[in-house]
Amino acid sequence: MPVSIVVGGQYGSEGKGKVVHHFAKEFKVKAAVKVSGTNSGHTFIDEDGKAHIHRVLPSASTLPGVHSIIPAGAVFDPELLFKEMEEADLSPSSVYIHPNAGIITEEIKQEEKWSGLASSIGSTVSGTGYATVHRILADGKFMRACEVPELDSYLIDTTKLMRRWLDNGDHIIIEGGQGFGLSLLHCNCYPFCTSRDTTASAFLSEAGLSPFDVTNVIQVLRTYEIRVGGSSGPMKHEITWEEVTRRAKAKEPIIERTSVTKKVRRVGEFDSQLVKRANIANHPNIVVMNFMDYIAEIDNEEYANMLGFNRLSFLNMVAETTGMRVTHVGFGPNDVRTVGEACAPNSLLYK
């Protein structure tokens, strides 16, 4: 009964979208589950080379034969769902929604917008947090998917559906949002966090599946951690994008913006202590390090998308300081390979 869970080990934007897309193909998954809310967007490149940013649908939704699941623990905006389905040219028959999945209404979005959270803690004010609050308060403002007529044809008990597939030996991948450093329960920077837990166990619970189902916990990292722009909370050893560009020896300036708010992200050095805590909480058996191209090699042209001395030295540092070895690396928007596949000839051995 194989289930793989994809989690972020830092503050989000680690490249989980492309990792989900990669492993969904490798594991030949039957279904992909998108938990959490719409406060983060995951980017991936489909088989035709088209870029997608999904906030509701899972990043494996465009793969042939893959069913998309929005479980009871998810919170989403129906208009955004229909927009993503149209852009991805998805058949309605491939999307399944649990009746208890939460709905982000326009009223809730406006309430969160005027709450002041955008300026006080750097919230994306997508309505995800306030929908969760009203769900807990049971004050009549929270809506479930079963209360939206436009969603009737998509509704099904997704837990029962996935159990049937798992009992048949099919593989399911669960896509979590944001990262461990933003967990409502486990971060060290409250209140500069998100509105829910962001660990593998929390995502499994939102999907409605059992710990006995899990085969893989895939933790995604990046060479330079980021936080959203503005007053988004503490970050150890914050640096500038100009410095990242200089270190990468990039021909063009490197600068990143968030996929939801389009604000310039803050960037900082790799925080081993944060990742070490994420390793303890998630205990991953697969670790992906993205943005390896942000570390320059001695011969950057020859080793553009390969692991040479400098990059392998970085991976060895990560293993020594976090207690967990990186198993896969990523370069660019759609590249994920094992460390062995990415090593340059005659390069330094990965300890």
Residue 312 tokens, joined: 């392998």
Cα separation values, 284 from 62, 214, 276, 280, 309, Å: 26, 11, 11, 9, 26
Which domain-ending residue is among 220, 255, 280? 220
Same domain assignment for residues 292 and 332: yes
Decide if 110 is inside a domain: no
Decide if 40 is inside a domain: yes
Same domain assignment for residues 28 and 164: yes
Same domain assignment for residues 169 and 234: no
Same domain assignment for residues 21 and 165: yes
Which domain-ending residue is among 186, 203, 220? 220
What's the pTM? 0.93
Same domain assignment for residues 24 and 163: yes
Contact 112, 171 (CB under 8 A): no
Same domain assignment for residues 261 and 326: yes
Per-residue pLDDT of the chain in tens (351 residues, 90 and over written 9): 699 999 999 999 999 999 999 999 999 999 999 998 877 777 887 777 787 788 899 999 999 999 999 999 999 999 999 999 999 889 999 999 999 999 988 887 777 677 665 555 455 667 777 888 888 888 888 999 999 999 999 999 999 999 999 999 999 999 998 999 999 999 998 998 888 999 999 999 999 999 999 999 999 999 999 998 888 888 889 999 999 999 999 999 999 987 666 789 999 999 999 999 999 999 999 999 999 999 999 877 778 889 999 999 999 999 999 999 999 999 988 899 999 999 977 666 665
Which domain-ending residue is among 220, 251, 275? 220
Contact 51, 118 (CB under 8 A): no
Cite the DSSP H helix spans in the chain.
16-27, 78-88, 106-113, 117-121, 128-137, 158-167, 200-207, 241-248, 272-282, 309-322, 339-342
C-alpha–C-alpha distance, residues 24 and 216, integer Å:
12
Contact 295, 329 (CB under 8 A): no
Decide if 189 is inside a domain: yes
User: Containing domain of residue 297, as a range?
Assistant: 225-342
Specify the pLDDT at position 64. Answer: 93
Same domain assignment for residues 8 and 75: yes
Contact 318, 271 (CB under 8 A): no
Q: How many domains does the chain have?
A: 2
Decide if 138 is inside a domain: no
Same domain assignment for residues 216 and 231: no
Cα separation values, 107 from 141, 224, 247, Å: 9, 37, 46
> Comparing C-alpha atoms, which of 56, 30, 62 is closest to residue 42?
56
C-alpha–C-alpha distance, residues 131 and 142, integer Å:
6
> What backbone phi and psi angles, to 5 degrees, belong to 138?
50, 45
Contact 128, 37 (CB under 8 A): yes
Decide if 111 is inside a domain: no
* Domain CATH code at residue 312: 3.90.170.10
> Comparing C-alpha atoms, which of 27, 89, 26, 29 is closest to residue 57?
89
Specify the pLDDT at position 255. Answer: 94
Residue 121 tokens, joined: 């803690």
* Domain CATH code at residue 45: 3.40.440.10
Decide if 119 is inside a domain: no
C-alpha–C-alpha distance, residues 266 and 89, integer Å:
34
The helix/strand/coil state of 84 is helix
Same domain assignment for residues 165 and 77: yes
C-alpha–C-alpha distance, residues 116 and 98, integer Å:
32
Residue position matching structure tokens 């200089």: 246
Decide if 78 is inside a domain: yes
Same domain assignment for residues 49 and 161: yes
The length of the chain, given as a count of residues? 351
Same domain assignment for residues 57 and 206: yes
Specify the pLDDT at position 112. Answer: 66
Same domain assignment for residues 175 and 250: no
> What backbone phi and psi angles, to 5 degrees, belong to 99?
-55, -25
Decide if 177 is inside a domain: yes
